[in-house]
Chain A
Amino acid sequence: MRSDRGQSAPLGLKIAAAGGLLFLHLPIFLIFVYAFTTEEKSFVWPPPGLTTQWFAVTWNRPDVWQALSLSVRVAAISTAVALVLGTLCAAAVSRTRFFGRETISLLVILPIALPGIITGIALRSAFSLAEIPFSFWTIVLGHATFCVVVVYNNAVARFRRTSGSMIEASMDLGADGFQTFRHVVLPNIATALLAGGMLAFALSFDEVIVTTFTAGQQQTLPIWMLEELIRPRQRPVTNVVAMVVVLVTLLPILAAYYLTRDGDQIAGSGK
């Protein structure tokens, strides 16, 4: 591939690439534009006029704040649960050998491979079977099923790269289990956990399918948006919220990407 350097790609390829990127991102751009339109009943192109009034309207709508607050709380707690369980599970699978290790590893990853609707239906019937009323906590449980996987995957990859004798060295030098975790294990997996946690947060924040099956009357932000699309009034409010959602989910994912990339370099430089 060296010889290709400096040579320009053919024009057709450039157009195809630009077309692909436009197809991916133009609709998102439209969403942003409609947040400033003066037409509130339907989306018309081009917008008849531009205004920033919808930001103020959105700010003053209590239902938006309720949905946003619920989404943030659900995402935060699901992520916290996932960080603890995912790390413990990753440590068990990568540090020790036991009967059924591979099976457990597969079973942990399975929820993210399953369609969300299956997870949703399964959880819903399980909750009603156990007569658990739908609440904030049932949403958290639903989201935790896939958040754990994300954290687990990140942590397990990092554990595999850290030398096992480092933990023994720490114990040998007088550190008990807790001190070893705090001073040796945690600093070595910290960036992996941060990355996993951010991805988990972003996944939970825009989740719709599992939430529809595990929520009661509460509306998370994506569910609120779905409902809002059917209503004729103040449509651009949805677009303003959409912009916020894009920012809130994009930033952690970008940060996670850069964190793990740096982490790889650190792990590689010691070799």
Chain B
Amino acid sequence: MTSAVSFQKVSRHFGSVRAVDTVDLDIVPGEFFAMLGPSGSGKTTCLRLIAGFEQPTAGSISIFGERAEGVPPYRRNVNTVFQDYALFPHFNVLDNVAYGLMVKGVGKPERQKAAEEALSLVRLPGYGARRPGQLSGGQRQRVALARALVNQPKVLLLDEPLGALDLKLRENMQEELKSLQKALGITFVFVTHDQGEALSMADRVAVFNDGRIMQIGTPEDIYQRPKTRFVADFVGSSNVLPPDFVHRYSGQHRWGSLRPESIRVGRAAKSDGVTARLVSTNYLGATTRLALDADGLRLHAIVPAGAALPEEGEAVMLTFNRESLHLMDEPT
């Protein structure tokens, strides 16, 4: 099967900065693909390479089997929802949404009908006559989405589209985007630095760092079985365990990761337990996050709210199932 988007050893350098460094990537048609990473990790540059705003320094990009290098943005069947929405202030909402059809020469009644439908799709019917300046942030975001979808792109690119929204609105939009993507069957490529967002929305996630892809996999893969220390730490703040520590429990001299929720905190001495001292507790509502010091090794544990907690500074015994200790590929 042809990939929706395929990167072969793609690099994009800005002077001496390697924004994207020999990235290989295959995005399956119809999937919801997230690019996750801290700022400056190259994920947005990858998105701009797909959109055509950047050209690769080396390597090749193809979109549904067609080579994309040198093809300008306006000849690609790919549309973008910009981080700042980039709505046209001098047009009303309907003309904003119909813009793509207008420049393609679609007649006025036809393109206005399509724009109305797109607005209904994003649940803004009847907003056509308003100006972008009169809309709230969440509404502008929906207009930007409708403006991209009306062109029926093969791939929809979303550049941190939820970043500017407040928490409640963001959660609603996450669900909506997800169901919209399922209903339309369009390939969505989503850039975010929010690991929760990536895990909850995407079919597959690519974790970026320093212009490279650290790991590609399903959210469960990334969360449960991180390959490197960076992924373990960045996605869900896993405990990264040094090889010497891991050796005692698995017999293998490798880096390991242990999820904070897999650690049980007790007082009774256990032969296979780890003695530690409770440094601080951090109340999070449904759970409480404990910072622990195990003989110089800083660990975090998450326990359900309401569990009996030791005092800060008190000695505790940490236990975990051997299966929850994950061994990473990271070279030691």
- Point out which of B73, B79, B83, B133 has the most chain A C-beta atoms below 10 A from its C-beta: B73
Q: Are B104 and A270 in touch, CB under 8 angstroms?
A: no
The residue from A174, A266, A270 contacting B100, defined by CB atoms under 8 A apart = A174
Which of chain B's residues has its CB closest to A186's CB?
A: B90
Q: Are A175 and B74 in touch, CB under 8 angstroms?
A: yes
Q: Mark B67-98, 1 if CB is under 8 A from A, else 0.
A: 00000111000111011101111100000000
A172 at the interface (CB under 8 A from B): yes
Q: Are B133 and A172 in touch, CB under 8 angstroms?
A: no
Q: Are A172 and B79 in touch, CB under 8 angstroms?
A: yes
User: In the assembled complex, which residues on chain A have CB atoms less than 8 Å from the CB atom of B86?
Assistant: 163, 165-166, 168-169
Closest chain A CB from B61 CB (angstroms): 16
The residue from A168, A173, A188, A270 contacting B103, defined by CB atoms under 8 A apart = A173
User: In the assembled complex, which residues on chain B have CB atoms less than 8 Å from the CB atom of A173?
Assistant: 74, 79, 99-100, 103, 147-148, 151
A170 at the interface (CB under 8 A from B): yes
User: In the assembled complex, which residues on chain B have CB atoms less than 8 Å from the CB atom of A266?
Assistant: 89
Of the listed stretches A1-9, A82-90, A176-184, A251-259, chain B binds: A176-184
* Chain A 142-197 residues near chain B, CB threshold 8 A: 163, 165-166, 168-176, 179, 183-184, 187-188
Closest chain A CB from B93 CB (angstroms): 14
B216 at the interface (CB under 8 A from A): no
How far, in whole Å, are A188 and B132 apart by their CA atoms in the complex? 14
B51 at the interface (CB under 8 A from A): yes
Q: Are A179 and B103 in touch, CB under 8 angstroms?
A: yes
How far, in whole Å, are A202 and B33 apart by their CA atoms in the complex? 58
How far, in whole Å, are A102 and B103 apart by their CA atoms in the complex? 35
The residue from A171, A183, A269 contacting B72, defined by CB atoms under 8 A apart = A171
Q: Are B103 and A174 in touch, CB under 8 angstroms?
A: yes
User: In the assembled complex, which residues on chain B have CB atoms less than 8 Å from the CB atom of A270?
Assistant: 89, 132-133
User: In the assembled complex, which residues on chain B have CB atoms less than 8 Å from the CB atom of A163?
Assistant: 84, 86
Q: Are A175 and B103 in touch, CB under 8 angstroms?
A: yes
Q: Are A174 and B82 in touch, CB under 8 angstroms?
A: no
User: In the assembled complex, which residues on chain B have CB atoms less than 8 Å from the CB atom of A184?
Assistant: 88
B53 at the interface (CB under 8 A from A): yes
The residue from A169, A175, A187 contacting B90, defined by CB atoms under 8 A apart = A187
User: In the assembled complex, which residues on chain A have CB atoms less than 8 Å from the CB atom of B51?
Assistant: 168, 172
User: In the assembled complex, which residues on chain A have CB atoms less than 8 Å from the CB atom of B104?
Assistant: 174
Check A174/B88 contact, CB under 8 A, given A269-B133, A270-B133: no
Closest chain A CB from B108 CB (angstroms): 14
Q: Are A170 and B82 in touch, CB under 8 angstroms?
A: no
Give A contacts to B, CB under 8 Å: 163, 165-166, 168-176, 179, 183-184, 187-188, 266, 269-270
Closest 10 CB pairs of A and B: A173-B100, A169-B86, A165-B86, A175-B103, A171-B73, A270-B133, A187-B90, A172-B80, A174-B74, A179-B103
